[in-house]
Amino acid sequence: MNDLAVKCKNIWPGLGIASITGMAALFLSEHYNAPAMLFALLLGMAVSFLYQNNTPCACGIDFTASTLLRAGVVLLGLRIALGDLAVLGWQTALMLAGAIFTTITLGVGLAKALGLQKRFGALTGGSVAICGASAALAISTILPKGENHERDTLLTVIGVTAMSTIAMVLYPILAGQLGMSNNEAGIFLGGTIHDVAQVVGAGYSVSEDAGDMATLTKLVRVAMLMPVVLIMMLVIKRFYAASTTDNSTDVPKMPMFLIGFIALMLLNSFVVLPEFVISTGTEVSRFFLVVSITAIGMKSNLGKLAEVGMLPIVMIITETLWIALLILGYLYLI
C-alpha cells in the first residue's frame, strides 16, 4: 500500500502539468480552428525542460505518454459499430482494406529504400492509412522499442497532422473540380484524409450528405485499426523474436488496450448505448489522446528531430498521395 501511495504521489506532478498543457491545446484548437494534436505537440515541446534531468514531473509524464495513451485508444472503440460496414457496402469496405494494406506495404518499402527502419515505415504507413495521429499512437505501443522510438512517433504525428490539415482544405476543392456527387465526395474525403476531425470538417464543407458519408467511411477505416495492430504484432513476433542482432527489440505481448478496444466496439455493436455514454466516451478519449501527445512532446528532443532531415516527410507525402490516387481510381472505375 505504501508503494502504491508513493507511486501515485510521483505520478501526479507530471500528469497534472500534461493535463493543463493539453487543456491549453484544446482551448487554442477551438478558438483558432486548428488541429488540437498539433497544438499539443508544440506546447509539450515548448515545456520539455520539465522532463529533463529527472525532475519531479518525469514519472507522471512517462505515465501519461503510455498508460493514459492506451486508455484513450481503448475508448475509441465507442465510436465504431460493426453495422457501419454493412451500411457502407462490402465493395467499398474491401477497397478501403486494400488501400490500407498497400499503403502500409508502401511505407515499409519506402523506409527500406531510403535507409530507414522498417518499423518506422509501418508506423507512417499505418497512420496515413487508418486514422492519423490516433493510429500512430496505437501502433507505436506495439512496435519494438528502439533507441528512436519516441522520436519516430513524434515525427509521424507531426507529419500526418500537417498533411491532414492541408488535405482538409484542398480535397473538397478537388472533389468539386472533378464533379463528384455527394456520395463520391464523402467516400473520397473519408477514405483519404487522415484524422477524424479533419474528415468531418472537409465533408460538411461540401454538403450534409457528403459529411455523413465521409464520417461513415472514416469510421470504417478506424474500425480496421485493431486488425492491423493485431497483424503487425504477429509479424513482429515472427520476424523480430528470432532476431539476435537487434538488442533493442522488445517483442510485445497481446496488449490489454487491444482487448479493451474490441470489447467496447462489440458492446457498441450489439447493445444500444445511450447517446451521452458514446459522446462522453468519445470526448474523454479525445482528451486522453491530446494529453498523451502533450507528454510525448515533453519527452522529445528537438536536436534528434533535426537530425532526421526530410526523408520522413517525403515518406508521409508519398503515402498520402498513394492512398488518394487509389481512392480516386476506385471511384472512377465503379
Per-residue pLDDT of 182-199, as tens digits, reads 999 999 999 999 887 788
3-state SS assignment for residue 46: helix
Residue 284 buriedness (CB in 10 A; 0-12 / 13-18 / 19+) = middle
Residue 49 buriedness (CB in 10 A; 0-12 / 13-18 / 19+) = exposed
Average pLDDT over residues 302-313: 70
Average pLDDT over residues 118-130: 92
Domain of 208 in residue numbering reads as: 3-332
Beta carbons of 261 and 226 less than 8 angstroms apart:
yes
Give the highest mean pLDDT range of 3-7, 121-125, 249-253, 281-285.
121-125
pLDDT the model gives residue 73: 80
Q: What is the DSSP letter of 169?
A: H
The better pLDDT of the pair 40, 196 is held by 40
Average pLDDT over residues 266-292: 89
**Of 39, 40, 331, 334, residue with least CA distance to 192:** 331
Percent of the chain with pLDDT over 90: 26
How far, in whole angstroms, is CA 205 from its chain's centroid?
Answer: 23
∠ at Cα 90 (172, 222), nearest 5°?
Answer: 55
79: cell is 465510436
pTM: 0.77
Exposure class string for 236-252: b at 16+ Cβ within 10 A, else e: beeebeeeeeeeebebb
Question: What is the count of structural domains for the chain?
Answer: 1
How far are the Cα atoms of 69, 115, 265, 316 from residue 112, in angstroms, in the given order? 29, 5, 35, 14
Interval 311-324: pLDDT, tens? 888 899 999 999 99
Question: At 172, is the pLDDT very low, low, confident or very high (cuts 50, 70, 90)?
Answer: very high
